[in-house]
Amino acid sequence: MSVDQLTCKDFNFIKKKRFAGSVFLNSLRSIYFKLIYIRNHMLKDLFETGGSTNNYYQSINKTYVNVFDKYLMLHYPFFKEKNEGLEKRQVNLTDHCISKVGSLQNKKVLEVGCGNGTQSIYMYNNFEPEKTIGVDINQNNIELAKNLKNGHEKLEFHVDDAQKLDKIPDNSIDILFCIESAFHYPHKKSFLDQVERVLKPSGIFLIADILSRTNKKRIPLIERWKRKMSFHHWTENQYTGSFRQTELSLVHKEDITSEVIKGYMDSGNWIKRKQFNNYFKYLMLKLFVFIQVATNVILLHNRRRYLIFVGTKNSN
Ligand SMILES: C[S@@+](CC[C@H](N)C(=O)[O-])C[C@H]1O[C@@H](n2cnc3c(N)ncnc32)[C@H](O)[C@@H]1O
């Protein structure tokens, strides 16, 4: 077997095995294998995560299962109280969004960009909608969502592009949520046209999105990487200007950047050493989470904002 293929199991085996030779040689070998392990696992995962949107969400889903033994929502945390875990803070964001649209009871709810389905399932289980549909462009996420939905007939998941919404009939939705997904859409105006098409007259939409503070371009290398990751952040003016070109009326706009930044408070406690037998796996996840948190917090302080837009489709 090549050292490039070393896995966690092999690593534990090598750790236990004593090779013939001096203590010094054994120590050198051990350091060598540790470095290969770090390269194969920590660095490879980190580079792959930043390689495409699909890789990114697969890594996040994998991390959730490794750390929490289950899938969590895929959005940023929202602060309410001290010492809350990530799961609670993500639910806080969902609850905050739901509180802006009124009751979901007996309503047809659509979540656009539903990720692994956890948020749609949470809405379905706790707010008694008549039906909940989740759509996402990522096939892996939709397969996870279908596995997690547990046979509920009034909960559907489909692969679909937010800019087309092929699976959703005209005038069929009472409440549409799009939470932390629209920054991925290159043609956001097409998405807003679809929101207008699928909503019933007087239907409600809520878009929670990560916005850019300015529309200044960055250095070409970063712009290329952003295209690869499908990052197309709009500014507030781009949003409000585009709403004016549709039959959608904005009724509420809210900047929740500071609650989201505070949501990362205590994130050092989200992963605990005692959850892992393997020290390197623990280190790898700590580093992965640290990089995610630091990047998000720095960007939210300097370049991005987190806004919620709530509105209705005109009923003429
Ligand atoms: C940050 S996750 C948010 C998931 C979910 N809304 C939540 O809050 O947990 C963003 C999701 O948007 C999806 N997405 C990206 N581009 C899309 C598109 N054009 N149409 C539909 N979904 C898209 C991604 O696949 C990903 O699952």
Structure tokens at 254: 């809210």
- Alpha helices of the chain — where are they, by DSSP H? 8-16, 23-38, 44-49, 53-68, 86-99, 118-127, 139-148, 188-198, 220-228, 236-244, 257-263, 279-302
Examine the domain organization and report whether 91 and 217 are in the same domain.
Answer: yes
User: Is the pLDDT at 116 greater than 70, yes or no?
Assistant: yes
For 210-249, the pLDDT digits (tens) are 999 987 777 888 888 888 888 999 999 999 999 999 999 9
Report the domain count for the chain: 2
Examine the domain organization and report whether 199 and 102 are in the same domain.
Answer: yes
> Among 11-25, 85-99, 144-158, whose mean pLDDT is lowest?
11-25
Examine the domain organization and report whether 130 and 42 are in the same domain.
Answer: no
Examine the domain organization and report whether 182 and 247 are in the same domain.
Answer: yes
SS (H, E, C) 115-166: CCCHHHHHHHHHHCCCEEEEEECCHHHHHHHHHHCCCCCCEEEEECCCCCCC
> Among 27-36, 160-169, 302-311, whose mean pLDDT is lowest?
27-36
Whether 126 maps to a domain, the answer reads yes
Examine the domain organization and report whether 115 and 162 are in the same domain.
Answer: yes
Examine the domain organization and report whether 90 and 45 are in the same domain.
Answer: no
Is the distance from the beta carbon of residue 188 to the nearest atom of ligand 1 less than 6 Å? no
Examine the domain organization and report whether 19 and 127 are in the same domain.
Answer: no
Domain CATH code at residue 212: 3.40.50.150
Q: How far is the CA of 28 from the centre of ligand 1 (A)?
A: 46
Chain CA centroid to CA 266, Å = 19
Is the distance from the beta carbon of residue 196 to the nearest atom of ligand 1 less than 6 Å? no
Examine the domain organization and report whether 45 and 92 are in the same domain.
Answer: no
> Among 157-161, 176-180, 265-269, whose mean pLDDT is lowest?
265-269
Residue of 63, 121, 166, 181 best suited for mutating to test ligand 1, as the one with most atoms within 8 Å of CB: 181
User: Is the pLDDT at 147 greater than 90, yes or no?
Assistant: yes
Is the distance from the beta carbon of residue 119 to the nearest atom of ligand 1 less than 6 Å? yes
User: Is the pLDDT at 13 greater than 80, yes or no?
Assistant: no
Task: Determine if the pTM surpasses 0.75.
Answer: yes
Q: How far is the CA of 57 from the centre of ligand 1 (A)?
A: 9
pLDDT band at 278 (very low <50, low <70, confident <90, very high): confident
Is the distance from the beta carbon of residue 179 to the nearest atom of ligand 1 less than 6 Å? yes
Examine the domain organization and report whether 119 and 258 are in the same domain.
Answer: yes
17: containing domain: 1-49
pLDDT band at 3 (very low <50, low <70, confident <90, very high): very low
Whether 204 maps to a domain, the answer reads yes
Examine the domain organization and report whether 303 and 216 are in the same domain.
Answer: yes
Residue of 56, 72, 136 best suited for mutating to test ligand 1, as the one with most atoms within 8 Å of CB: 136
Whether 282 maps to a domain, the answer reads no
Is the distance from the beta carbon of residue 77 to the nearest atom of ligand 1 less than 6 Å? no
Examine the domain organization and report whether 17 and 93 are in the same domain.
Answer: no
Per DSSP, the residues of 80-127 read SSTT--HHHHHHHHHHHHHHTT---TT-EEEEES-TTSHHHHHHHHHH
Is the distance from the beta carbon of residue 97 to the nearest atom of ligand 1 less than 6 Å? no
